[in-house]
Amino acid sequence: MRLRNLWLPLTIIALAGCGGESEDLPNTPQLLIDRTELSFDTEFSAGTYVGTTTFNTLYIENRGLQTLEIKEASLSGPSVFTMKKPDTWPENGPMKLETFQRTFVEVAFKPNAAKEFTGTLTLKTNAPNGETRELALKGKGIAP
């Protein structure tokens, strides 16, 4: 009985510390991404074998109180980079993310020659902190 009473105040204190996250958020939509560049097998001067495919995923989240609209996600550069949008992305219209909602965009790299490749992934949103966000794509093809 005594042990139960001891845990009650600790539980209340712990639960009180969990609230209030949304109070600190801006009223506008806020784009949060987990990186500014997508590199493919470039660690330790390695690379991707010609004809094989490696993948990299971009994490996107809304950290604002209003709905984030991702109006466009596009690639520019050589065709060795391809993008897969999430299945929930509408064909016509923007991808909408509510507060703390997240999504992922997958980019594949399949080199067709033993050389370095660069490209750009561009996101266009309604967020004041990222109306247009460009991320560098970097990959290196190597001979098998």
Q: How far is CA 90 from the centre of its chain?
A: 17
Q: What is the pLDDT of residues 11-22, one digit of tens each?
A: 444 444 555 555
Say if strands 31-33 and 54-62 run parallel, antiparallel, or are unpaired.
antiparallel
Q: What is the pLDDT of residues 23-75, one digit of tens each?
A: 688 999 999 999 999 999 866 678 999 999 999 999 999 999 999 999 999 99
Pair 118, 138: CB distance under 8 Å: yes
Say if strands 68-76 and 116-125 run parallel, antiparallel, or are unpaired.
antiparallel
Task: Return all residues near 142 (Cβ < 8 A) that are at least 6 apart.
Answer: 46, 47, 48, 49, 50, 111, 114
Domains in the chain (CATH in brackets) are 27-142 (2.60.40.10)
